A and B are shown apart, each in its own frame.
Chain A
Amino acid sequence: MEYVDLHAHMVSRTTDDYRRMAMTGCVAVTEPAFWAGYDHPSAAVFADYFDRLTDFEPKRAAAVGIEHYTWLCLNPKEGEDRALAREVIDLIPGFLDRPNVLGIGEIGLNRVTRNELATFVDHVELALEHEQLIHIHTPHLEDKYKGTRVIVETLAADGRIDPSRVMVDHAEEHTIEMILEHGFWTGLTLYPTTKVSPGRAIDMVEIYGPERICVASACDWGDSDPLAVPALVLEMRRRGHPETLIRQVVYANPVEFLGQSPKFALARRERETTTG
């Protein structure tokens, strides 16, 4: 089955992974800018990183027939450094016109500090100023509930935000309801140990319905699985779900959300096919 992996840190993965993803039906990935496992020493390093995300990675993906898109930001783990954040945010507009940039992300919170929130708000302003889609990282583990609440309440209080253009990612059982009830899209990341398993992701689809829910591997440099989305497809079949529902979750939903960017070619082609 064709699928879109809406959250994959392919800079950390091998060409073999791209090939295996393609062989299991992956037709597009979107790659949010993230934390490399250590702090970047300067804004110049981010410029190099953004260049890789917008030039080298699309070529690597295209070699196996996968469309590669990206989101740019200074990630939440480095959001505490306000001076660095300002420098990096100043860099981003110079990359926004590149053909595979869909928006600003993954912005958000980590430990939910004052500085992290200020950096998050600066990124939201940048997205609004440049009419970009927004992709949001919610904190991990014990910080997820509080971080998601702060993010959702901050955005909900800003009348300029159209929630249909915002993906609040890494939802779990205790945060999905507050995200969906405010009209945002949400993502379930199929990541071992710290996020959700395919089984729990399917539980949430069953309980809340498939509307505005996407899934992704969030594969990166940690223990993670670039084939997590096809693993979910298999598990949904074991759980007795019809192919139409599976396709909605792994393909149609991400295409609908990402298709709000005119750069997302897959949505354009889908529309052309539908209209004949």
Chain B
Amino acid sequence: MASPQGTSPLTQRELIDTYFMDHRVQVLELAAYLDRLDRAAALDGEDDFRLRATREALAVLTDGEKDRTLRAQMIFSDPRTDLLPSLDRKGALGAYDADSAES
């Protein structure tokens, strides 16, 4: 469902007045995380599927289109519905690694 305009009871101005500071710090935290990756002792994670997904999701945030949360969720998600033949590990990793996925 495309997020319908008008479902938030607060106006844009009210949302900004109430939540700007909360989200300002989140933007800075993300920026600092990316800077930290640039300053890392070794640049050995550029191809990491989690970093790739993060960069792809960040692009969604600024593309000017709607439903950013849903689209970011799908970037991190395994889009397939076929069953794994057996359990490979107990926990999830947070992002789908298409390169190492079993077919």
Q: Residues of A at under 8 Å CB distance from B? A: 77, 80, 110-117, 139-146, 149-150, 153, 172-174, 177, 200, 203, 206-208, 238-241
Contacts and interface: CB of A to CB of B under 8 A. Distances in A.
User: Chain B at the A interface: mostly helix, strand, loop or mixed?
Assistant: loop
A142 B92 contact: yes
B28 interface: no
Contact of A206 (B7, B70, B73, B81): B7
Given A206-B8, A207-B3, A80 B81 contact: no
Contact of B9 (A113, A139, A141, A241): A241
Chain B's interface size range is 20 to 34
B91 to A, nearest CB: 8
Interface SS, A side: helix
Interface string B50-79: 000000000000000000011001101111
Contacts, number: 86
A240 B85 contact: no
Interface in B1-43: 1, 3-4, 7-10, 14, 18
A145 B90 contact: no
B81 A150 contact: yes
A56 to B, nearest CB: 27
A153 B87 CA distance: 21
B94 interface: yes
A150 B83 contact: yes
Contacts of B103: none
Nearest to A193: B94
A37 B59 CA distance: 35
A70 B84 CA distance: 30
B26 to A, nearest CB: 11
